[in-house]
Amino acid sequence: MIRNIPALFGELVFNESVMKERLPEETFKAMKKAMGDGKRLDSALADVVAKAMRDWAVEKGATHYTHWFQPMTGITAEKHDSFITPDKNGGVIMEFSGKELVRGEPDASSLPSGGLRATFEARGYTAWDPTSFAFIKDDTLCIPTAFCSYGGEALDKKTPLLRSMEAINKQTMRILRLFGNTSVTSVKTTVGPEQEYFLIDRALYEKRMDLRFTGRTLFGAKPPKGQELDDHYFGTIPTRVVAFMKELDRELWRLGVLAKTRHNETAPAQHELAPIFSTTNIATDHNQLTMEIMKRVAARHGLVCLLHEKPFEGVNGSGKHNNWSLTTSDGVNLLEPGDTPHENAQFLLFLCAVIKAVDEYQDMLRLSVATAGNDHRLGSHEAPPAIISMFLGDELTALLDSIERDKAYDAREKVQMKVGVHVLPRFPKDTTDRNRTSPFAFTGNKFEFRMPGSSLSVAGPNIVINTAVADVLARFATRLEGASDFETELHDLIKETIKNHKRIIFNGNGYDDAWIKEATEVRGLSNLPSTPEALKCYIDPKNIELFGRHGVFSETEICSRYEILLGNYSKVIHIEALTMLDMVNKDILPAVSAYTKKLTDALNAKKASPVKLDTSYEEETVSVLCGTLGGIFSAEKALEVALDGVKSASDRQAKAEYYRDKVIPAMKELRKVVDSAETVTDRSAWPYPSYSQLLYGIE
Ligand code: ADP
Ligand code: MG
């Protein structure tokens, strides 16, 4: 049934129009203010809002409420409480107070805290984030909240994200005032996260222990056909997938998520959803919701949605492109080149701030996307390398070059390019970026950070981008505020920034091996191929100072995050290794052994025949199988030994490095022999659905 989409959109959201309709005018005004600046409402007003929320939610069939938050697990957390309260007559009424709206105390002591709660308080508390709308999911009113310890330390991803948005707001406002802008009241960062995912058949998924336990296939021989024909990207979407996508869009629209684009991606069974961008914290909440709803809707269609960065070897993995920009309270995109010299000077200053920030905090950007899963993608010729560089396009690069050298931009003009005096040439959008190999690309009016993995919360990368850019803007503002001649100082500042940071600009092919060499050896860019070495940068004094300066993370908070992420890396690999051993010992070795016996029996029967029969197939295959079986057995033993050796690691960092250097190679070795066994074993004897079935199973 086709319903009126504008009426359906946001029907499960306690949004501004619902508030306007249901709140007294004064409360609505206060609420709007709270949404604008994130400040909390006083308790009397909170009570009024809570009652309106409850009435609205109960009318929509809600029975419970929950403080919905984003702990360090990378997913969301919720504990439901029903609205019921006993009345005097032995019955119940539905109650919800301002106190319950504003603050919650989930007994969340089992969520990761990186040691923070051991030193402060066992429990954390949740605090309402009025800048993101409450919504109904599963008949439960979900209230977006931040999660902190009693000492005030952030235990989640939302708190530092909000702090980083505040930091960049503050510094951007200083710059705008310098350009004479007095009308803007605040600046917010905007994000549009493009989400890639795989869809596979649920019945096949159930048969694969590796997919169920780790989200990716740990074994699987290559199918005869992969993505080499490029026939999946933007191809006709299979009927079952279209049915899934339709329902997904509807569910997301009802939750106020601006789902916009859907299409097939490069790998077989891979797809993408892109929303229209929104304010960063809302985009983050919505992306978390999108991932959750994708999984649920898939289940209703007999499908499984895989969000892992590398579910299948040999075809592309999944990423999440983080489109980022800065928008003023009057709706101006600060990364949009303007029409006047004045607007252009301002654009160039913001552009340079991002260039400098990316160059100075390359390590932090790399770190913000570092997970065991994403390590499979980065640098594997399917996603950007682990080295950060920026794509600006030839035109913009030529323009920056002419500013740096005081040269004319257009040879015909013979006039020097001077910031604040000249009108920039217009950059037609479609010439800006079709280079998909760049980790950080300027795409006409925004930057696209292409390194995040598909399952990652976008909070992490945006905390880093916001804080790093805020830091540079702060330095720019201080210098410009003290200038005697603003125009000249501005020009010098831009010129100097280009000169000092142009090493980070690279418009060529990021997948090329020659680039890795040039980047590291000639340009001195940082190359952090794996998660353990990237995570170490967290505790680099330069980074601790950065976050401290802007009140985004205290040193304790950083140390706790470093601990959590490092521990997580080791745990993920540990689980993968144990899963492999279990699969090999209980399914694969017995299956190959049984199949070898079957063939040996056939061989013996032929040999016993009075007539001489050709036994070449059986003989050769049995011999290959015996060899393979031995190979699997010894690789399995080697992985066991490698896992056992983890005990020798002295601390968490050493442990993570041990997993990377000893356990992962042993896992790869084991996979190699098992996959080769699969290619010589009877299809019906192999214990798991094959890559062909998984990747091409949906019509
Ligand atoms: P593609 O990268 O596939 O070519 P687009 O460039 O059209 O697609 O847009 C990709 C994403 O960028 C979309 O999610 C879109 O909403 C987002 N986007 C567009 N403008 C902005 C902006 N000013 N800030 C943040 N994200 C934006
Ligand atoms: Mg894109």
Q: What is the CATH number of the domain that holds 537?
A: 3.30.590.10
Dist CA 319 CA 407 (whole Å): 40
Give the mean model confidence (pLDDT) for residues 127-153. Answer: 92
Q: Which two tokens stand for residue 211?
A: 């997919």
Q: Could you tell me if residue 63 is inside a domain?
A: yes
Buried b (16+ CB within 10 A) or exposed e, 638-664: bbeebbeebeebeebbebbbbbbebbb
Instruction: Note the pLDDT tens digit of each residue in 642-684.
Output: 999 999 999 999 999 999 999 999 999 999 999 999 999 999 9
Is 563 inside a domain boundary? no
In a shared domain, residues 28 and 145: yes
Which is the closest atom of ligand 1 to the Cα of 275?
14
CA 165 – CA 129 distance, rounded (Å): 13
Query: In terms of pTM, does the model score above 0.85?
Result: yes
What are phi and psi for residue 449, nearest 5 degrees? -95, 115
Q: What is the pLDDT of residue 615?
A: 96
- Residue 562 domain flag: no
Please check whether residue 422 is in contact with residue 341, taking contact to mean a CB–CB distance below 8 angstroms. yes
Q: Which tokens in the block code for residue 457?
A: 């919360």
Residue 429 located in a structural domain: yes
235 pLDDT band (50/70/90 cuts)?
Answer: confident
Name residues whose C-beta falls within 8 Å of residue 25's C-beta, 6 or more positions apart in sequence: none
Residue 378 reports pLDDT greater than 80: yes
pLDDT at residue 423 greater than cutoff 70: no
* Per-chain mean pLDDT for the chain: 92
**Does residue 396 sit in the same domain as residue 373?**
yes
Q: Please name the residues in contact with 418: beta carbons below 8 A apart, sequence gap of 6 or more.
A: 403, 491
**Which atom of ligand 1 is nearest the CA belonging to 323?**
26
Q: Is the CB of 447 under 6 A from ligand 1?
A: no
CA distance linking residue 11 with residue 137, whole number of Å: 11
Q: Which domain holds residue 74?
A: 5-156
pLDDT at 327: 97
Are residues 385 and 308 both part of a single domain?
yes
User: What distance in Å separates the CA atoms of residue 382 and residue 593, rounded to the nearest whole number?
Assistant: 37
Tell me the C-alpha distance between 45 and 47, whole Å: 5
Q: How far is the CA of 322 from the centre of ligand 2 (A)?
A: 8
Q: Is residue 229 part of a domain?
A: yes
Could you identify the atom of ligand 1 that is nearest to the CA of residue 327? Answer: 23
> What pLDDT does 415 receive?
52
Task: Please say which residue of 135, 156, 177 terminates a domain.
Answer: 156
At residue 640, the pLDDT reads 98
Higher pLDDT, 341 or 496: 496
* 434: pLDDT strictly greater than 80: no
CB of 335 sitting under 6 A from ligand 1: no
In a domain, 559, yes or no: no
Please tell me the least confidently modeled range out of 119-133, 170-184, 341-355, 639-653.
119-133
**Cα within 13 Å of Cα(61), Cβ side:** 6
Q: Choose from 225-229, 260-264, 586-590 the range with maximum mean pLDDT.
A: 586-590
Q: What's the confidence (pLDDT) of residue 430?
A: 46
pLDDT level of residue 412 (50, 70, 90 thresholds): low
Tokens encoding 518: 């040039």
**Backbone dihedral region of 285: left (phi > 0), alpha (psi from -120 to 50 degrees) or beta?**
alpha
Same domain for 182 and 138, yes or no, is no
Cα–Cα distance for residue pair 506/510, rounded to 1 Å: 8
- State the Cα–Cα distance between residues 224 and 484, nearest whole angstrom: 69
Q: Is the CB of 446 under 6 A from ligand 1?
A: yes
φ and ψ at residue 303, rounded to 5 degrees: -120, 165
d(CA 274, CA 9): 17
Ligand 2 midpoint to CA 504 (Å) = 20
- Is residue 435 within 8 A of residue 328, CB to CB? The reply is no
Of 28-37, 58-67, 438-447, 489-498, the one with minimum mean pLDDT is 28-37
639, 644, 641: which is closest to 672 by C-alpha? Answer: 639
Residue 252 and residue 150 in one domain: no
What per-residue confidence (pLDDT) applies to 2?
59
- The span from the CA of 437 to the CA of 408, in Å, is 30
Total domains in the chain come to: 3
SS3 of 355, please?
Answer: helix
pLDDT at 407 (0 to 100): 76
**Predicted local distance difference test score (pLDDT) of residue 416:** 54
Output the pLDDT for position 225: 83
pLDDT reported for residue 578: 98
Domain identity same for 111 and 246:
no
Give 182-223 as a DSSP string. Answer: -S---EEEEEEEEEEEEEEEHHHHHT-HHHHHHSS-S--PPP
CA-nearest residue, atom 11 of ligand 1:
192
Return residues with CB closer than 5 A to ligand 2 (ion). 321
Q: Which residue has the tokens 């035109």?
A: 395
Q: Are residues 150 and 252 in the same domain?
A: no
Residue 426 pLDDT: 54
Enter the tokens of residue 343: 């607007």
- 3-state SS, residue 136: strand
The confidence band for 417, taking pLDDT boundaries of 50, 70 and 90, is low
Res 224: pLDDT:
84
- 178-224 pLDDT per residue, tens: 999 999 999 999 999 999 999 999 999 999 999 999 999 999 999 88
What span, in angstroms and rounded, lies between the C-alpha atoms of 237 and 448?
26
Average pLDDT over residues 607-633: 96
Answer yes or no: do 172 and 151 share one domain: no
Distance separating alpha carbons of residues 518 and 527, to the nearest angstrom = 11
Whether the CB-CB separation of 690 and 223 falls below 8 Å is answered with yes
Weakest mean pLDDT among 76-90, 184-198, 421-435, 638-652? 421-435
pLDDT score for 138: 94
Question: Do 114 and 240 fall into the same domain?
Answer: no
Q: 147 forms bridges with which residues in the sheet?
A: 126
Report helix, strand or coil for 687.
coil
Higher pLDDT among residues 484 and 234, named by residue = 484
Q: How confident is the model at residue 115 (pLDDT cuts 50, 70, 90)?
A: confident
- At 174 the pLDDT is 98
Select from 518, 553, 588 the last residue of a domain.
553
Mean pLDDT value across residues 42-50: 92
Report yes or no on 75 lying in a domain: yes
Domain assignment present for 533: yes
Burial (CB count within 10 angstroms: exposed 0-12, middle 13-18, buried 19+), residue 524: exposed
How confident is the model at residue 408, as a pLDDT? 66
Centroid of ligand 2 to alpha carbon of 321 (angstroms): 6
The answer to whether residues 679 and 596 belong to one domain is yes
What average pLDDT does this structure show over 321-338?
A: 95
Band of the pLDDT at 464, cuts 50, 70, 90? very high
Domain boundary among 156, 181, 205: 156
pLDDT in tens, 508-524: 988 888 999 999 999 99
Output the pLDDT for position 149: 86
Ligand 1 pocket, residue 333 CB under 6 Å: yes
Assign residue 583 the CATH number of its domain: 1.20.120.1560
Same domain, 407 and 321: yes
Question: Following DSSP, what letter does each residue of 298-348 receive, concatenated?
Answer: HHHTTEEEE--S-SSTTS---BEEEEEEEEETT--BTTS--SSHHHHHHHH
HSE of 403, CA atoms in CB hemisphere, 13 A? 30
Q: Check residue 520 and report its DSSP letter.
A: I
Q: Do 110 and 195 share a structural domain?
A: no
What CATH number does residue 114 fall under?
A: 3.10.20.70
